[in-house]
Amino acid sequence: MSKSLVAVVRYESPLESVRKAVELSDGFGNLSSNARVFIKPNIVFWTKAAQFPKWGVITTSRVVEDMVVLLKEHGINDITICEGMVTMIPGDKDTPAHAFKSLGYENLKNRYGIKYINIFERPFEKVEIEEGLTLNYNKDILHSDFIVDLPVMKAHNQTIVSLGIKNLKGIIDISSRKKCHNPDPDKDLHYHVSRLSDKLPPIFTLIDGIYSLERGPGFDGKMKRSNILVASSDILSADMVGTRLLGYEPSDIPYLVHAAKKRNRPTDLSDIEIKGEEIDNLVSYHEYDFKYEENENCTLPVPLAKQGIAGIFYRKYDSTMCTYCSAINGLVLSAIRFAWKGTPWDDVEILTGKIMKPVKGKKTILLGKCMCKANRNNPDINEVIEVKGCPPKPKDILNALHKAGIDADPNLFKKETIEQLPGFFMARYKGRPEFDESFFQISE
């Protein structure tokens, strides 16, 4: 049986490094010049209020432009960049438009005649992945001829890694994304992610590892300059090689195990031919996990627990917490951190996701619609404080914290403060020349 082909290339120069990755992997080997091609970058989150820390979070505009140039050289004229990014306010169209313009996609349109779309402004189509499992995909991509998948090389706090297959979560609608965070242990997030590529047109994956990310997927992870590109016409093979480069075995990644089993493939890379660099020379372990500390006085992320905070129990997130509640998780923890004045709180418990259960006798904040539905009538709760909404509104979270006796700063929950939050993380990389803003710019 022939092996799947994967190219591993060091990023050294604009265009030529991506060209080398495409050529070594024969990425365009079966691509007709009259094909309708969609490019799917990774734009996790964006804010208009602060310079966004993009490195390892968002696909570089450098790689996007290089891919457009190579497609044009191949004779492709129908090229569309598409993404369905997370916004704090569902239905927000201005923020994606600002992201696309800031990343230079309008300049790509003017220079090369490409198009770009926010998939939430386009129709979706229901697809039966298997009996009992349907997801709603962007109709344009679903009926295209060819997809160029451009994920970032990152570790992920729920799926361990986030690469080519996981990047396709950005082309399904919001209800489908929430469905992926299923409480069923047999059909959980990992299972849903593993099936995302099953019903799509041919996919060429190029993993953008110019910058990589620990503890992704967001701006609170640790960003690194890695200078690696991974390319393959087989998305699972690209992900397995990318996983090894991040310091994990594919057999350690549940969604890859599911995907390999579905395709009757091994997870040890034995059926993959790697061209280019020796991957053992490029492996760099990327931590995926945010560690939590549990004791009789509190349950909190380690940095907060080390402050001596007591009387609050904020259990570690699980895979059932969807993207939108994940986006507010950091905000709530920041509010707790800054509200601490040295006096233990009164056994306050905060529950997230869909499957957590309360500890008897505590004052319990149920964060989000799913938690409220699961536990509002639980007799073990001493005092229940519901924060409804999907996602919950910042002002409702603030009111809940105040009701629980946590004097959170109202300024943290203002829209302008939330939008400026990524800028604080950007300060870590200020003055470090390897974190080059030009990788996310396209000249006019």
| Per-residue confidence (pLDDT) for residue 301, from 0 to 100 | 93
Backbone angles phi, psi at 71, to 5 degrees: -65, -40
Please calculate the CA angle 400-404-410 and round it to the nearest 5 degrees.
50
Listed in order, the ranges of the chain carrying CATH 3.40.50.11440 are: 4-288
Is the model's pLDDT at 418 over the cut of 90?
Answer: no
Phi-psi sector, 135: left (phi>0), alpha (psi -120 to 50), beta:
beta
| Residue pLDDT, tens place only, 430-444 | 889 999 999 999 988
Q: Find, among 201, 221, 203, 199, the residue nearest to 211 by Cα.
A: 221
Return the biggest CA–CA distance within the chain: 68
Which DSSP symbol is given to 274?
E
Domain at 4-288: CATH code:
3.40.50.11440
| Residue pLDDT, tens place only, 340-377 | 999 999 999 999 999 999 999 899 999 999 999 999 99
Summarize the confidence of residues 264-268 as an average pLDDT: 96
* Residues 80 and 38 sit within 8 Å (Cβ to Cβ): yes
CA 55 to chain centre: 13
| Per-residue confidence (pLDDT) for residue 81, from 0 to 100 | 98
